[in-house]
Amino acid sequence: MTMALQVLALPDGHAWSDLSTFVNRAKRVDPDGAARLVGHGEILAVYASPVHGGGGPTVIGLRAMRLAERSTIDVTVPLAALCDRLAHQPGPKLSVPPNDAPGVVWAGVLPPRDGWTPVGVVDPVRVIDRAAAGIAEVTAGAPAGSGAAAVAALRGKVWGGPLSRELPQVPAGVAFVADSLGFVAPTDTALLGVYRNGPWWRASSPRGHIMARQPSLS
């Protein structure tokens, strides 16, 4: 489906670089993936889901940033097209790719914006370690030549496991998304807050939010 041309006005080069870094990181772990862009007045919410399908959880990363002009945009576009626009347009106004991304199931139902209840905290270093352990498990269980369906099922199993002993219901995919999207770093000292809202879990760092739900609750 072709959409009318929409433009987002970013305030400066820092915001442009911030958006570019986020979508390029998302594309690196999900090359054929998409981003959903939602404008809330002067705030742009950018969602990407490096973990979905394969019978495992849906895990969504959210980066929010300010706009120079109010927007009510709500589109889902291919990450590749968005990265290309950010690489080749001068800014600070971004012409959103005109082609809607088809069949992006995870983008159909986004996590709630409010109503979250705090349930605990997690150390960012433990999050990074959990991501590394999961990546190693996927790598060991999916040698070269493994079929796409088998790899997807393995990823779903690994990232659907527990984040930690203290937070066993939170999917381990939260760690992978936090690490791959740059929401945590080994030098971080602030703990990530963990919250719940119905079937959704959320971990929040100063750099962004990671929301997850298990497939049985889809």
**Residue in the block written with tokens 């990671």:** 210
pLDDT at 217 over 70: no
| CA–CA gap between residue 130 and residue 50 (Å, rounded) | 16
Same domain, 70 and 121: no
Assess whether 124 and 104 both reside in one domain.
no
Q: 122 and 103 in one domain?
A: no
Mean pLDDT of the region 138-166: 90
Residue 97 and residue 173 in one domain:
no
The residues, ordered by sequence, that sit 6+ positions from 18 with a Cβ below 8 Å of its Cβ are 63, 65
Q: What is the CATH number of the domain that holds 63?
A: 3.10.150
Q: How many domains does the chain have?
A: 2
| pLDDT, tens digit, 9 for 90 and up, residues 67-102 | 999 999 999 999 999 999 999 998 899 999 887 788
